[in-house]
Amino acid sequence: MKIVTILGARPQFIKAGTVSREISKNSALREIIVHTGQHYDANMSDVFFDEMNIPKPCHNLGIGGNGHGAMTGQMLEQIEMILLIERPDWVLVYGDTNSTLAGALAASKLHIKIAHIEAGLRSFNMAMPEEINRILTDRVSQLLFCPTRTAIDNLSKEGVDHWSGDPTCLLVGDVMQDGAFYYSNLAKKPSGVETQNNFVLCTIHRAENTDDIGRLTGIINALNEVSQQRQVVLPLHPRTRKILADSDLDTSQLTVISPVGYLNMIWLIKNSACIFTDSGGLQKEAFFFEKPCITMRDETEWVELVDSGVNFLAGADKEKILAAFEGVFSITKNYNQAIYGSGCASQNIVEALINY
Ligand code: UD1
Ligand code: UDP
């Protein structure tokens, strides 16, 4: 069975690190990786392939850094050409990026079966490019691999049982949980970064925060205030770096570092006191490593974390972020909940692909 996997952005490499390893264990499966090039800096791409032993992409399209339409359109055209040559049994896509949508659209037009990992997630915010990408990808997929019960319910409410194409929804668990536990023991301190006791770890990259100067100002002002009490370590996404460089915002109080590889990131998570983020993946990793998480968004797809009292939605308002931080250590938290399955998501996915 031939699988073409479409990757393009950092979180997809991290998820593929775990799933591709599982695919490679089965001699009946052959995986061809296509890298769209959406993320292209060495510390946003190569580092993950190297550290996680992800097979080198067979095709690298080099399409990154454009507007959404141009990027998605160029990917669609080039992925179609590759699929016409490779003729796979399955196209495997992850998450909700432009690379995900381009891969799913290209496959659907050629009537190639699509398997979507992280299906069924919804923010219910159609202003997010990710929400559009994930809804459209789900709609054309044959196998919908859901990480949570909520994802299954979301698809059910959208009438998945009556969709033409008769897709199969499976609750498989979260592949990031498999990866976090597998790589946990390999975590290593980033070289050249001095961390103080009880530092907090922060990431910011969402378009809704970076492209709205009011929201970005609220976030940076809040972090500056937090930095009066604790060191704030901020591995900065290139999107945010560029926008901050063009702004008047002062980040000199923060420990701003370049994006780090996954093993460094796990070290930072494990050694931090708490996490501030607008990342999807990092919200879950905070839970896996039992760190409180302040999510600087107005909503999240990972609602179970908020409902179970380990993740605090604070938006981008300075006072709300600081209020969340003030209470974060005193609230009793229960991390002993199997929200994301039993650590076998990748195995479940490979079995489902074989048995379909
Ligand atoms: C993308 C995804 C987002 C995901 C994030 C993970 C979409 C619509 N968004 O957002 O869902 O959470 O990846 O990190 O697909 N850049 C570089 N070097 C790189 C990569 C990006 O300089 O290696 C800069 C470029 O200026 C680029 C900008 O960052 O224009 C944004 O990159 P892009 O891939 O468009 O979106 P992300 O914000 O990374
Ligand atoms: N991450 C990383 N290095 C960094 C920042 C993040 O390895 O400098 C990891 C993080 O631990 C998580 C993933 O990248 O596994 C999340 O990706 P990102 O926040 O870019 O995207 P999202 O999950 O929001 O789509």
Of the residues 239, 260, 279, 296, which should be mutated to test ligand 1's pocket, given the most ligand atoms within 8 Å of the CB?
239
* Reported confidence tier of residue 81, pLDDT bands at 50, 70, 90: very high
Percent of the chain clearing pLDDT 90 (strictly above): 99
pLDDT score for 321? 98
Q: Is 237 a catalytic residue?
A: no
Q: Is 38 in the pocket of ligand 1 (CB under 6 A)?
A: yes
Q: Is 210 in the pocket of ligand 1 (CB under 6 A)?
A: no
Please, what is the average pLDDT of the chain?
97
Average pLDDT over residues 125-141: 97
Contact 233, 152 (CB under 8 A): no
End-to-end distance of the chain based on CA atoms, in angstroms?
11
pLDDT score for 29? 97
Average pLDDT over residues 239-267: 98
pLDDT score for 177? 97
State the Cα angle at 340 between 337 and 341, rounded to 5°.
95
Q: Is the pTM of this model over 0.85?
A: yes
Q: Is 97 in the pocket of ligand 1 (CB under 6 A)?
A: yes
Average pLDDT over residues 279-296: 98
pLDDT score for 101? 98
Integer Cα distance of 261 and 43 in angstroms: 6
**Phi and psi, residue 346, nearest 5°:** -65, -40
* Reported confidence tier of residue 3, pLDDT bands at 50, 70, 90: very high
pLDDT digits (tens, 9 = 90+) for 257-275: 999 999 999 999 999 999 9
Tell me, in angstroms, the distance from the centre of ligand 2 to residue 10's CA.
6
pLDDT digits (tens, 9 = 90+) for 303-347: 999 999 999 999 999 999 999 999 999 999 999 999 999 999 999
Residue with tokens 């990710």: 130
Which residues partner with 201 through β-bridges? Answer: 233, 275
pLDDT score for 16? 98
Of the residues 38, 66, 212, which should be mutated to test ligand 1's pocket, given the most ligand atoms within 8 Å of the CB?
38
What is the Cα gyration radius of the chain? 20
Integer Cα distance of 75 and 62 in angstroms: 9
**Phi and psi, residue 262, nearest 5°:** -65, -40
Q: Which amino acid is at 212?
A: D
* Reported confidence tier of residue 292, pLDDT bands at 50, 70, 90: very high
Q: Residues near 28 by Cβ (< 8 Å), separated by ≥ 6? A: 1, 354
- Tokens standing for residue 206: 């969402």
The HSE-up count of residue 207 (CA atoms within 13 Å, CB side) is 10
* Reported confidence tier of residue 119, pLDDT bands at 50, 70, 90: very high
- Closest C-alpha to 12, from 85, 104, 128, 117: 117
pLDDT score for 327? 93
Average pLDDT over residues 96-110: 98
Neighbours of 285 (CB within 10 A): 24
Residue closest via CA to ligand 2's atom 3 equals 260
- Closest C-alpha to 356, from 148, 113, 191, 159: 113
Strand 59-60 versus strand 90-94 pairing type = unpaired
Contact 3, 31 (CB under 8 A): yes
**Is residue 40 exposed (0-12), middle (13-18) or buried (19+ Cβ within 10 Å)?**
middle
Residue closest via CA to ligand 2's atom 25 equals 280
Which helix (H) or strand (E) segment is 19 a member of?
helix 10-24
Average pLDDT over residues 201-229: 98
